[in-house]
Amino acid sequence: MNQASALMNTITTPNEYKQAYQQSVEDPEKFWAGVASDFLWRKNWDQVLQWDFAKPEVKWFDGAKLNITENCLDRHLLERGDQTAIIWEPNDPQEDHITITYNELHQRVCQFSNALKDMGVVKGDRICIYMPMIPELAVAVLACARVGAIHSVVFAGFSSSSLADRINDASCKMVITADGSYRGEKIVELKKITDDALQSCASIEKVIVVKRTGKEVNMQENRDVWWHDAIDDMADTCEPEVMDAEDMLFILYTSGSTGKPKGMVHSSAGYMVYTNYTFRNAFQYQDGEVYWCTADVGWITGHSYILYGPLSAGAVTVMFEGVPSYPDMGRFWQVVEKHKVNIFYTAPTAIRALEKADLSFVEKYDLSSLRVLGTVGEPINEEAWHWYDKNIGKGGCPIVDTYWQTETGGFMISPIAGITETKPAFATLPMPGVQPALMDKDGNEIGGNAVEGRLTIKFPWPSMARTIYGDHERFKQTYFSAFEGKYFTGDGAKRDEDGYYRITGRVDDVIIVSGHNLGTAEIESAIDEHDKVCETAVVGFPHDVKGNAVYAFVICYQAPSDEDTLRKEILETVSDIIGPIAKPDKIQFVGGLPKTRSGKIMRRILRKIASSDTSNLGDTSTLLDPSVVDEIMAGAIN
Ligand code: 7RM
């Protein structure tokens, strides 16, 4: 690596950030070619970038050939084969943690890759991964990538019907799961849920099952195989499948404003280059540091910033199986002390929950190893920011508030730790390569500073999603139609007098609850599945720990005789159809909903009622029957 490319690849001063940013805008192809020069390519690219947001079509490093796992594993072996790659911390603090070196991870990935091949997996096959946060999850993801299979990780908190929908949407050929998963005091019976799902999944040929809890499970002959049997006798080297730059690496589902989850498709080369670049720079990762992202690999944060970004950078990445509240609210800090974590990355909802616990849970532990703190998933309120800064960072750790999405693959707007001056609750400045534009309702770009609008991105970046699996038209409609020639994030943002961005939240019908995206339409249709329910409207309302919570207004065919029982049944229905994370916090039974003459529910009014902010409901004159509003207000749950 020559000095010029070293400068481009690693930002070490505020001035270098400015230079990198400027170059990334003035000559994006040169900039990204410089960054990409640091990776292991089987063949160089013919062209750095081709793009057309009208189609939309985006290709990065076209013509190049690579395998991302060679970049995450093989290329580190000479230099750091014996260095820890993954520290795995179990749910139960009494159980031993596990460290896995790069050599060992390479061997385990190769061995499982051979098992996949032995079971008939070939390049392009879709494989669903429905697993707890155990080392085998990392191995499974990387092995899919090594053999060129497309992984579709489904968060292990989703229900059997959500799992089935995702398996069917991508016609997955295999599911990799476990007998069960530990979550705090609870055991989730993953294999049982998988079996239920597979009753309606014709495409599945094989199921691989990791033994984690040891609880007895049903194993279907000719279909189900234990992980330990599958890898038995398999060689621990495996030539990687050589992939094209734009070959699909994975599918990951995210909720949208209409019912069906969207299978976001990420490609190989651009995703690799961008997650690596943003990981190293935003966190200012230094060789040998211990980095811990508390997300689950079932979400994009886990894909990009537990696995691919850190591993491609040769980092030490912590994988935590448990929850922040088990065995008590001090668990995160106990783990930070135990593994001397240097960089800690979590969600505002976790920070707010821990903030509510007694400060003694924090003070019991030595957090002096911490150097950088991060947050992601939703806007962080100023109070939580200050609590994090003061009590966890002891006033000495920069906080990187990373704004990004499943669709963007990597950080869009984020401070560079210790280099960008931070402001509480601001994601601050765009990463190099990211060109944000704020738009007004009429589709005009809002220039200048101290302004607010809808956040779009006007130029491609390497890790952007390429399509929605099986539905390119929906991809175009959702992200490239609201503002011509621009990618629309669905978020609102302010740009202050210094050009700093503050994300104000979703402007569509997506509610972010505890950092998880939930589509209102998806929850509504789940509630509507209950046979007593006629119609439902769901809105979000502010919640001091979860950020937002879910309020459901439900019309029944007949006024319920026992509201509490029906509420419980509805919660179960939602839990069965989507998963426990989507359960409404409040359910109000109503006789009617505020609809316009054209039949549209005026959610604006329901949002105000749900937030107990009814002093000014705005214009209700277009309502078909304004009296329903008074009725709903009278029965509102505070
Ligand atoms: C990484 C992730 C995406 C949505 C996004 C925003 C919100 C995420 C921040 C944030 C304010 C942040 N992917 N969001 N990070 N809002 N500040 N730092 O969360 O696909 O699950 O969610 O999350 O609304 O559009 S995601």
Q: How confident is the model at residue 5 (pLDDT cuts 50, 70, 90)?
A: very low
Ligand 1: distance of its center to the CA of 377 in Å? Answer: 4
Q: CA–CA separation, 559 vs 590, rounded Å? A: 8
Q: Which residue has the higher pLDDT, 257 or 280?
A: 280
Q: CA–CA separation, 505 vs 270, rounded Å? A: 27
- Residue 373 within a domain: no
**Which of 517, 518, 581 should be mutated for ligand 1, with most atoms under 8 A from CB?**
517
Print the domain residue range for 595.
Answer: 510-634
Q: Pocket residues for ligand 1 (CB within 6 Å)?
A: 254, 299-301, 376-379, 401-406, 427, 489-491, 503, 506, 512, 517
Ligand 1 atom closest to 402 (CA)? 18
Ligand 1: distance of its center to the CA of 583 in Å? Answer: 20
State the burial class of residue 380 (Cβ atoms within 10 Å of its Cβ: 0-12, 13-18, 19+).
buried
Region 262-281: mean pLDDT is 98
What are the residues whose beta carbons fall under 8 Å from the beta carbon of 78, sequence distance 6 or more?
Answer: none
Is the model's pLDDT at 249 over the cut of 70? yes
- Residue 466 within a domain: no
Sole residue written with tokens 């990420």: 266
Three-state secondary structure call for residue 179: coil
- Residue 619 within a domain: yes
Inter-CA distances, 588 with 278, 537, 550, Å: 44, 10, 11
Q: What is the pTM of this model?
A: 0.91
Ligand 1: distance of its center to the CA of 347 in Å? Answer: 10
How distant is the alpha carbon of residue 624 from its chain centre? Answer: 40
Among candidates 192, 262, 256, 260, which has minimal Cα distance to 526?
Answer: 260
Q: At 362, give phi and psi (nearest 5°).
A: -85, -45
- Residue 148 within a domain: yes
Q: At 463, give phi and psi (nearest 5°).
A: -100, 15
Ligand 1 atom closest to 516 (CA)? 21
Region 116-128: mean pLDDT is 98
Specify the pLDDT at position 117: 98
Sole residue written with tokens 């505002």: 348
CATH label of the domain that carries residue 600: 3.30.300.30
Specify the pLDDT at position 437: 98
Is the model's pLDDT at 6 over the cut of 80? no
Q: CA–CA separation, 633 vs 541, rounded Å? A: 15
How many domains does the chain contain in total?
A: 2
Ligand 1: distance of its center to the CA of 409 in Å? Answer: 11
The rounded mean pLDDT for the chain is 95
Region 227-231: mean pLDDT is 98
Q: How confident is the model at residue 260 (pLDDT cuts 50, 70, 90)?
A: confident
- Contact yes or no for 364/401 (Cβ under 8 A): no
Among the candidates 204, 221, 241, a domain finishes at 241
Sheet of 399-401, strand order: 98-101, 84-89, 316-320, 290-293, 343-346, 372-375, 399-401
Is the model's pLDDT at 119 over the cut of 80? yes
Q: Which residue's C-alpha comes closest to atom 6 of ligand 1?
A: 378
Q: CA–CA separation, 286 vs 86, rounded Å? A: 16
Ligand 1: distance of its center to the CA of 376 in Å? Answer: 6
- Contact yes or no for 589/605 (Cβ under 8 A): no
- Contact yes or no for 115/229 (Cβ under 8 A): no
- Contact yes or no for 306/86 (Cβ under 8 A): no
Region 216-224: mean pLDDT is 97
Q: Is the dihedral of CA 531, 534, 537, 543 positive or negative?
A: negative
**Which of 308, 352, 404 should be mutated for ligand 1, with most atoms under 8 A from CB?**
404
Q: What percent of the chain has pLDDT over 90?
A: 88
Region 91-104: mean pLDDT is 98
Q: What percent of the chain has pLDDT over 70?
A: 97
- Residue 232 within a domain: yes
Specify the pLDDT at position 257: 63
Pairing of strands 343-346, 510-513: unpaired
**Which of 376, 407, 478 should be mutated for ligand 1, with most atoms under 8 A from CB?**
376
CATH label of the domain that carries residue 208: 3.40.50.980
- Residue 82 within a domain: yes
Q: Which residue has the higher pLDDT, 256 or 614?
A: 614
- Residue 556 within a domain: yes
Ligand 1: distance of its center to the CA of 488 in Å? Answer: 13
Q: Which two tokens stand for residue 453?
A: 């609008």
Three-state secondary structure call for residue 48: strand
Which of 103-107, 214-218, 336-340, 525-529 shows the lowest mean pLDDT across its residues?
525-529
Quick: pLDDT tens for 534-578: 889 999 999 999 999 999 999 998 999 999 999 999 999 999 999
**Which of 255, 378, 382, 454 should be mutated for ligand 1, with most atoms under 8 A from CB?**
378
H runs (alpha helix) in 60-172: 68-72, 77-80, 102-118, 135-147, 160-169
Specify the pLDDT at position 2: 43
Ligand 1 atom closest to 301 (CA)? 1
Say how many C-beta atoms besides its own lie within 10 A of residue 497's C-beta: 9
Specify the pLDDT at position 258: 64
What are the residues whose beta carbons fall under 8 Å from the beta carbon of 309, sequence distance 6 or more?
Answer: 275, 276, 278, 279, 280, 410
Specify the pLDDT at position 15: 97
Among the candidates 241, 257, 289, a domain finishes at 241
Specify the pLDDT at position 468: 98
Query: Which three-class secondary structure string do you get for 164-177?
Result: HHHHHHCCCCEEEE
- Residue 316 within a domain: no
Among candidates 589, 479, 614, which has minimal Cα distance to 527?
Answer: 589
Sole residue written with tokens 């309502």: 623
Among the candidates 241, 260, 289, a domain finishes at 241
Specify the pLDDT at position 3: 46
Q: How confident is the model at residue 259 (pLDDT cuts 50, 70, 90)?
A: low
Quick: pLDDT tens for 426-446: 999 999 999 999 999 899 999
Say how many C-beta atoms besides its own lie within 10 A of residue 204's C-beta: 20
H runs (alpha helix) in 486-545: 520-528
Inter-CA distances, 632 with 167, 248, 560, 587, 611, Å: 40, 48, 16, 12, 13
Measured at the alpha carbon of residue 574, what is the angle toward residues 568 and 577, in degrees to the nearest 5? 140
Beta bridge partners of 253: 263
Specify the pLDDT at position 598: 64
For residue 381, the 8-state DSSP code is: P
